[in-house]
Structure 1
Amino acid sequence: MDLALWIAAGLLAAVALVGGSTKTFVPRARLAAQHGGEWTQNVGAGFIKSLGVLELLAAAGLILPAALDIAPFMVSVTAACWILLMIGAMVTHARLGQPKLVMVNVVYLAFAAFIAVGHLAT
């Protein structure tokens, strides 16, 4: 079980790292031009960058507490916060008529739920 949790956390952290880096460092106009980034047209650049920074923090929060054995319960807290983020992403993509992206977010949500519950049990 421990190995499965590490793999899930690593995969989700990689997703958060890529998404966070993109939202933090790629200009809004370029994000809006990409498939799945249409939502960025309707929000401010500061909001997008804030989400990006939160995702970068999530990448760290999914790995570092357990790896360093400093407040490892924070992995579950981070995963629970990721679940909330994915609910918002699913609503946003559903409103834009992007069912494939909604399903991608469902998968990320499932990984986060597995991590949150699994780390509480260990």
Structure 2
Amino acid sequence: MADIKSFIDNEVKSNDIVLFMKGTPDFPMCGFSGQVVQILGYLGVPYKGINVLDNPELRDGIKTYSNWPTIPQLYVKGEFVGGCDIVREMFQKQELQAHLKEAGIAVNEAAAE
């Protein structure tokens, strides 16, 4: 488990935005992952999608790492933001856009209003 924790830690800390998801950004394998992909796409922010279905150890490990029971999980600048419901709610209230801007990540201006 230490190896998977190191892998997750490295991904979270070396990428501005990481989405641990079921499937890939081009082909989400569940509706919740798909919703977060759509939101990030609308915001026009670059991010790294990591498919937890490729590795059962990663799928379990990310839940332990964040102490959050569900996938997808979004991380911004090393910080756990939340799963689909939280990301969607933050997006609808413009909080996600503000959070990204505060983290120094440019957001599609049409999405920021």
Higher strand share: 2
Higher helix share: 1
Tell me if both proteins adopt one fold, taking TM over 0.5 as the criterion: no
TM, length-normalised to structure 2: 0.30
Task: Choose 1 or 2 for highest CA Rg.
Answer: 1
